[in-house]
Amino acid sequence: MSPQPRLLQVLNVLSVLSLAAAAVMVFAYAPIERVMGEVQKVFYFHVATAWVGMIGFIIAAVVAIIYLVTKDLKWDAINLAAVEISLVFFFIAILLGSIWARPAWGTWWTWEPRLTTAAILEMIYLAYLLLRQGIEDPERRARFGAVYTIVGGLSVPLTFVSIRLFRTIHPVIIGGGGSEKMNMTGEMVTTMLVNIAVFSVIFITLFWHRIRLGQFAEKVEQLKLKLTH
Amino acid sequence: MDDSPQTTSKSSKWSEAGRPQAALSSAVHRPASGYLRAVLAVAWKDLAAELRSRELLSAMLVFSVLVLLIFYFALELDIKARMDITAGALWVTFAFAGTLGLNRSMSIEKDRGCLDGLLLAPVDRSAIYFGKAISNLAFMLIVEAIVLPLYSVMYNVNLFHPGLLGVTLFGSVGYAAVGTLLAAMSVQTRTRDVLLPILLFPVIIPVLVAAVKASSGFLTGAEMAEITPWVNILLVYDVIFIAVAFMVFDFVVEE
């Protein structure tokens, strides 16, 4: 059992402190939005978590290709870590978006392209995890996982485009794409950027931990095999 | 169980002797025709087996008719609703019947050890993929060719529009391209048949959205400018995923 590297320990502390600082900034520094009021505060976390989900999604797709080329199981652990983190953060982003949409658009859920695509992406991730669950051989699990990540990663942009087209031809009842019409003051933009930076740090920390966890799990597996033989 | 070591020893002998020879002869003669012949051989094998047993097509057909009946009772397809829902009902039917066919066509290969036999053949593995994809596409098209007239008769809607038939073809191509790849993966897992729709449906959504919108566009007599974007999405999806499946199929059957 190797101890956590010094840099990771620093990141742990930094993540907690910066998250606290970001929360203070959102509630004390950023002004209250005139139209939507207090609920608009959720927007900062919503954008930041969606950002982390997006990074995880892109890393997963790139790493999947690297795995298929190199066949090094190390990349599979990274692929799984990226997918899991992306799954959780997109879920948080959808929940936060829902909390925001209720007062802003008058509904918890709307078939807005980004929202729908995020939901479908969640389904792809869940399918990915189910696929992995059904395979014992680690090498085959890694291969299938990588292939499915690539197929899913390519279908998501097309899904987004098709849903967008779907919406523009149909009448949009509830202000689709309303988020970018928000007029932000300088303080708001700063708060948003700080939040994105903070969540990026949190992402790196979690990512690192998850990869380490994957490595440990592999070690345990090998030790178990040694014991039984 | 017992013959598996035998098969592997055979496989190593074959790959030593058979492959280079085949590669050489195909390089000397026409390389494309050898590949094409392998693709057609795999597809023909499936079609011939199906012609004799008819288990797959009959299951798909009966299932499709049942889905159409369920739609009638579930949605109360009166004249007004029919025009709006027809395209959606048809594609839901095709998508569900399609998973039946894909599962069956791949599990036959896996259960009777035919997949190993196919993999031993001295041809590029993507030829096996294309062969399977073509036979799966053929099954889908046959089912569609029967379901469409049946739907027309049952619901008194005229579905014989060349545009609609084209959309059905392009949609089925995309469906079979991705479905064959994912079915080849899902039959090698513990959960098998259960897994295929879960893997397939989230990634096939662009095809379903585009096919439904384009089909209903043709049925309601919408302008071409409204339909073209959907047809484009279908074509783009088909091209991208045939290319991807061609590139990654090796990793799915590799042992």
Does B128 contact chain A (CB < 8 Å)? no
Does B206 contact chain A (CB < 8 Å)? yes
Question: What's chain A's Rg over C-alpha atoms?
Answer: 20
Each residue's pLDDT tens digit, A33-48: 766 777 778 888 888 9
| ipTM of the complex, rounded to two decimals | 0.83
Q: Which residues on chain A are in Cβ contact (under 8 Å) with B229?
A: 165
Q: Structure tokens of B168? A: 């059905």
Which amino acid is located at A13 in the chain?
Answer: V
pLDDT grade for A26, boundaries at 50, 70 and 90: confident
Tell me whether residues B191 and A147 touch, CB distance under 8 A. no
pLDDT of residue A225: 85
Neighbours of B51 (CB within 10 A): 9
pLDDT grade for B32, boundaries at 50, 70 and 90: low
Report the residue of chain B nearest A123, measured CA to CA: B202
Element (H, E) at B19: helix B4-28
The mean-pLDDT minimum among A147-156, B3-12, B70-79 falls in B3-12
pLDDT of residue A168: 61
pLDDT of residue A69: 94
Q: Which residues on chain B are in Cβ contact (under 8 Å) with A163?
A: 209
Q: In this prediction, what percent of chain B has a pLDDT beyond 70?
A: 87
Size of interface A-B (CB pairs under 8 A): 96
Nearest to B240 among A124, A126, A154 (CB): A154
Locus of tokens 């529009």: B161
Nearest to B248 among A126, A150, A161 (CB): A150
pLDDT at A110 over 50: yes
**How close A123 comes to chain B (CA, Å)?**
6
Residues with Cβ < 8 Å from A41, sequence gap 6 or more?
A26, A27, A30, A32
The mean-pLDDT minimum among B76-85, B91-100, B175-184 falls in B76-85
C-alpha–C-alpha distance, residues B242 and A50, integer Å: 31
Instruction: Check residues B18 and A65 and name the one with the higher pLDDT.
Output: A65
Altogether, the residues listed in chain A come to a count of: 229
Q: In this prediction, what percent of chain B has a pLDDT beyond 90?
A: 48
C-alpha–C-alpha distance, residues B80 and A135, integer Å: 48
Tell me whether residues B188 and A144 touch, CB distance under 8 A. yes
Instruction: Check residues B145 and A27 and name the one with the higher pLDDT.
Output: B145
Q: Mean pLDDT over all residues of chain B?
A: 84
Report the residue of chain A nearest B226, measured CA to CA: A169
